[in-house]
Amino acid sequence: MSTKVAVIQKPPVLLDRDKTIARAVESIDEAAGAVATLLVFPEAYIPGYPTWIWRLKPGGDMALSGEIHARLRQNAVDLDREDLRPLQDAASRHAVTVVMGISEIDSSFSGTTLFNTVVVIGPDGTLLNRHRKLMPTNPERMVWGMGDASGLRVVDTPAGRLGCLICWEGYMPLARYALYAQDLQIYVNPTWDSSETYIATLRHIAREAGCWAIATATAMQGSDVPENFPDRDSLFEPDEWINGGNAVVVDPSGTVIAGPLHREKGILYAEIDIEVARRARRSLDVCGHYARPDIFSLSVNRKPLQPAEFSD
């Protein structure tokens, strides 16, 4: 049985959580109207990927970087506060599964640290999984903390067994294998890397795991950055493409079947079928008949790594 996938690469309202969530709900309504039941959004879509970190010099204008980070923190998603309730309600209203990238604030312990997080929302509106990026990349480490493996899980959805890694986590072989070993059928990779090299990586992952691979960055121009963004005109050119998006869907043979959707602020649609993934592993099943557990083994600590435990 096939599932229609919608890969959404429209720009957010950068640094505005509530307006971005409203925009995401509009995209959910649009994709559901096109009869898609699995909807994928980019990395850190709410309230927008911190693209400025690749433009500000490390140790440069600390006042500017501090002001931008403060706005990011103020607009980060607090799951305990149920900031994603409008998305959860929209998923339930349309009976769709939503994969969403967010900047998440830790309100339980520090109250300040942010994480690069991807959440999976089920068709009944429940939060099926939360995965925090294990290793932020390069200047991302000035924005996000390192996540633990408590969300390194594959979950059941109507489309199939779905697992997520964020952007360059796809280059971490052991993180990939941890998902493969949970009967991964659909690999979803919210990302900021829209390069041809990364599309080649997705094709490799799909072939290696015998799974569907779905990814997108955010299609975004300088003109999409709100006017109230600090020092916007010195950081961005109105006509420049900050990111081309390149939403893509790859089948379990490693063949691109939809996309890449390049420099288009829209939605990429594709049909996927998990039976194709099951059949792909007849010759190559890296966690089954093609594994050598007598030689190689992997141990994954999925215990939540909390900075403090309190006993009253």
**Mean pLDDT rounded to a whole number for the chain:** 95
Taking CA atoms, 271 is separated from 4, 15, 42, in Å, by 5, 33, 19
Strands 241-250 and 256-262: antiparallel
Q: Residue 130's pLDDT is what? A: 98
Strands 114-121 and 127-132: antiparallel
Using DSSP, state whether 248 is helix, strand or coil. Answer: strand
Convert the pLDDT of each residue in 178-213 to its tens digit.
999 999 999 999 999 999 999 999 999 999 999 999
Buried residues in 83-96 as b, exposed as e (16+ CB within 10 A): bbeebbebbeebeb
Q: Residue 1's pLDDT is what? A: 77
Parts of the chain with a pLDDT under 50: none
Q: Looking at residue 147, what DSSP letter applies?
A: P
Residue in 43, 104, 169, 208 annotated catalytic: 43
Using DSSP, state whether 2 is helix, strand or coil. Answer: strand
Residue in 10, 104, 133, 169 annotated catalytic: 133
Q: Residue 62's pLDDT is what? A: 81
Q: Looking at residue 185, what DSSP letter applies?
A: -
Q: Residue 124's pLDDT is what? A: 97
Residue 211 annotated in active site: no
Q: What whole-number distance in Å separates Cα of residue 46 and Cα of residue 24?
A: 9
Q: Residue 56's pLDDT is what? A: 84
Domains of the chain: residue spans and CATH? 2-280 (3.60.110.10)
Residue 196 annotated in active site: no
Q: Residue 58's pLDDT is what? A: 63
Residue in 164, 167, 211, 287 annotated catalytic: 167
> Per DSSP, what are the bridge partners of residue 7?
40, 268
Q: Residue 59's pLDDT is what? A: 61
Residue 287 annotated in active site: no
